[in-house]
Copies of this chain bind each other. A is one copy, B any other.
Amino acid sequence: MSICVKKYGGTSVGSIERIEAVAERIINESTPGVAPVVVVSAMAGETNRLVGLSDSVFKGYRGAAYDMVIATGEQVSTGLLSMALEKRGRKSRPYLAHQLGILTTSTSSKARIQKINTDAILRDISEGIIPVIAGFQGVDEKNNITTLGRGGSDTSAVAVAVALKTKECEIYTDVTGVFTADPRLVKKARKIKRLCFEEMMEMASLGSKVLHIRSVEIAAKFKTNIHVRSTFEFSDGTWIVDEGEIMELENPVVTSVTHESLTTVFKLNALPKGPKVLAQVFNELAKESIVVDVISQHEEQSSQRLAFSVPVDDVTKTNEVLRKIFPNIPAEIMEDISKLSIVGVGMRNHPGVAAKFFDILGKIGVPLHLVTTSEIKVSAIIDKKHLEEAANAVHTAFGLDAREQA
């Protein structure tokens, strides 16, 4: 008996009709010898509603009570999907994280899965029962309910697949796969057939919202392939696999153009010199759970310049932290900023990719505020007003447009 883990996202279970359709599909597609194990997100909009309730009581509060509230979204969809399977005559059992033993760290709203007990799932499978598991949630050692962060149900699904030692994990979503760029921004974006884990990780960390980054990290570590596909269509989606599985020829230099449309840049122009100062800044920001993205630093004669970007939600907190450390050095805050990136493992063997990227942006007159690179990506911080034009130009220049490659 092999096992297929199927994860359904928020829009896939966004209404009673869709929950019924998912149940129908799980049953119709079930083949003898392959046992489905289902992981679900909250019904679309539900987590936002719950976060809104929490925020209206105590904005920014993180703790057991917060996770307890926002974990209810998955609890409801899990129960409803399990019922929808039972209604169709299939035995099903719903599981919350604590019932299954999805053990996580204790960090409220950003917990990480540490262990999953598969005994119950395996027993269900042997009895012909379809387990339906609430994604996004876990339980810590003190038996508090934890949550894994927005998009965390992907991670739940991949972690369950890894724990069950399956070779792949299906992620059902409202798009047909992973695209070379966001089709809302780049009209000629096309679906990618195969991607390697590293590329997907970069894309996720650079703003692609298709998959929760942690899910890709876990999949990469345990070489569990992910199949991202549509709940509403039957065609193959995008496979995310180990780099070794992708033929060299198949692999373009740049796989995708990724963006984050809204971020904020802080600039400090006359900091005292030395690495200690930088360590202090980023330590204090980390204490407040502020995730700093792009960092740029320049040493000058008697001081250093520092610039970094943070999510828009963290601007107020970041400002408070900086004022505490440097009461006399005002920070310049640049708003309405976007990040545009190109990703591709092929870059490793093709020098000059970054140069070409800057060249394209230069030709259309887009000024760069910050730049950061890694072995397989180049990112530029630009003004939001240039984002659409820049993304399309880069997409075309790197040969990603649908017409050319279809």
Contact = CB atoms under 8 A, between A and B. Distances in A.
Interface of A: 16, 19-20, 50, 53-54, 56-58, 61, 63-66, 68-69, 71-72, 75-76, 78-80, 82-84, 86-87, 92-94, 96, 98-99, 132, 143-145
Given A50-B76, A58-B87, A72-B75, 6 more contacts: A16-B53, A53-B80, A65-B86, A65-B94, A66-B79, A66-B83
Contacts of A87: 57-58, 61
A83 B58 contact: yes
Assembly stoichiometry (copies):
2
A83 B72 CA distance: 16
A65 B53 contact: no
A78 to B, nearest CB: 7
Contact of A58 (B68, B78, B86, B132): B86
A26 B144 CA distance: 24
A96 B83 contact: no
Contact of A57 (B53, B71, B80, B98): B80
Most buried by B among A68, A69, A87: A68
B68 A79 contact: yes
Contacts of A72: 72, 75-76
Contacts of A69: 75-76, 79-80, 83
Contacts of A76: 50, 53, 69, 72
Nearest to A145: B96
Nearest to A72: B72
A333 to B, nearest CB: 28
A96 B68 CA distance: 9
B65 A83 contact: yes
Nearest to A23: B57
Contacts of A71: 75
A144 B71 CA distance: 17
Contacts of A79: 54, 65-66, 68-69
23 contacts: A19-B57, A50-B76, A57-B80, A57-B84, A57-B87, A58-B83, A61-B83, A63-B83, A65-B78, A65-B80, A65-B82, A65-B83, A65-B92, A66-B83, A69-B75, A69-B76, A69-B79, A69-B83, A72-B72, A72-B75, A72-B76, A96-B145, A99-B143
A58 B90 CA distance: 13
Given A53-B16, A57-B19, A86 B63 contact: yes
A251 to B, nearest CB: 45
A78 B66 CA distance: 10
Nearest to A132: B65
A86 B96 CA distance: 26
A64 B83 CA distance: 9
A26 to B, nearest CB: 14
A328 B93 CA distance: 40
Contact of A80 (B54, B82, B92, B144): B54
Given A63-B86, A92-B65, A93-B64, A20 B57 contact: yes
A63 B92 CA distance: 11
